[in-house]
Amino acid sequence: MGYKVDNAVIMCAGTSSRFAPLSYEKPKALTVVRGEVLLERQIRQLKEAGVPEIILILGYKKEQFYYLKEKYGVRLIENKEYRTRNNNSSIRAAAPYIRNTYICSADNYFSVNPFESEVDGAYYSAVYADGETAEWCLTEDADGYIDSVTIGGRDAWYMLGHAFWSEDFSRTFLEILDEVYDLPETADMLWESIYMRHLDRLKMVIRRYPDDAIFEFDSFDELREFDTSYIDDTRSVILKDIAARLHVREAEIREIKPLKAGTEAIGIHFRAGDGTYEYRYDEKEIKACEA
């Protein structure tokens, strides 16, 4: 029996600090990738598939998403806990709407539209890793349901992209979320972490995709590999300023990683030319690091 898709929930609340420094300047989901705003592409694909309602869960720099309500008719919901909890709080914020629902990340790029108006049952999308991977790897039982999720593995299907929750799956997951939400260890969990602890109650299959179907850019360097126009033109005020002050081309700024104080992103660590540097957002100073 198929499930008619009721809606899609797209999680847009996080700070995406690993995508520094672009994510400091604007939300990662609003990055232009190969000529399209990343989130807008996903919204259009959902609409083209006939998904009747799209819900955005907002937090970080929420005002920058407001234009999407008028442009695409999406529903906007605020997650007020996005700074203190992981994405399980976005699921909690969307709970009244979750039934037969696509659960999506705002920063995925789908080369071909993966969405449908009717789905057979609950699934998590996955691609295959040849050799070692640090991703969340899946195995399945004799009935085809996911029976283990391990972080890291080899020659395995791993989680990447969207999930579909059937109404039964949604009801059970939200019950479990209510049971564990106030436990201190839950605050920092992804919803997938909660799912993998309750595989006996939450039945979901693997939806397999080729390795050129779903992309996720955890860092600016990964974006540059996918969209080479960012190599010479970073579209970043911060990186353009760094390039001018160090007298290097933007293409020479690489291996960019966030600097953090606790969980808060305060700047970036990067290489430029033959040197290694730090840049702090508040001080706007470039400091050379020892080799």
Residue 221, in any domain of the structure: no
HSE-up (13 A, CA, CB side) for residue 10: 26
How confident is the model at residue 31, as a pLDDT? Answer: 98
pLDDT digits (tens, 9 = 90+) for 83-102: 999 999 999 999 999 999 99
Per-residue pLDDT tens over the stretch 101-146:
999 999 999 999 999 999 999 999 999 999 999 999 999 999 999 9
* Average pLDDT estimate for 226-255: 97
Q: Does pLDDT of 27 surpass 70? A: yes
Structural domain harbouring 243: 228-288
Closest CA to 102 of 207, 178, 189: 207
Domain boundary among 154, 181, 216: 216
Q: Is the peptide bond before 114 cis (omega within 30 degrees of 0)?
A: no
- pLDDT higher than 80, residue 1: no
Do 187 and 276 lie in one domain? The reply is no
**Other Cβ atoms closer than 10 A to 222:** 14
What pLDDT sits at residue 291?
A: 60
- Read off the pLDDT of residues 262-287 as tens digits, 9 standing for 90 and up: 878 899 999 998 899 999 999 999 99
Q: What pLDDT shows up at residue 261?
A: 86
**CATH code, domain carrying 154:** 3.90.550.10
DSSP classification of residue 28: G
Note the pLDDT tens digit of each residue in 9-21.
Answer: 999 999 999 999 9
Mean pLDDT of 179-191: 97
Domain end among 216, 245, 275: 216
Distance CA 228, CA 225 (A): 6
DSSP E strands in the chain: the ranges are 3-4, 7-11, 32-33, 36-37, 54-58, 75-78, 101-105, 108-110, 118-119, 123-140, 146-165, 205-208, 214-216, 253-261, 264-272, 275-280, 285-288
pLDDT, tens digit, 9 for 90 and up, residues 47-62:
999 999 999 999 999 9
Q: Residue 204: pLDDT above 90?
A: yes
Q: Residue for token digits 């979901």?
A: 204
> Does 104 reside within a domain?
yes
- Note the pLDDT of residue 290: 74
Residue showing tokens 């791993």: 158
**Domains in the chain, number:** 2
Give CA 264 to chain center in angstroms.
Answer: 18
Q: Is the pLDDT of residue 38 over 70?
A: yes
Torsion angle of alpha carbons 153, 122, 166, 159, nearest 10°? 30
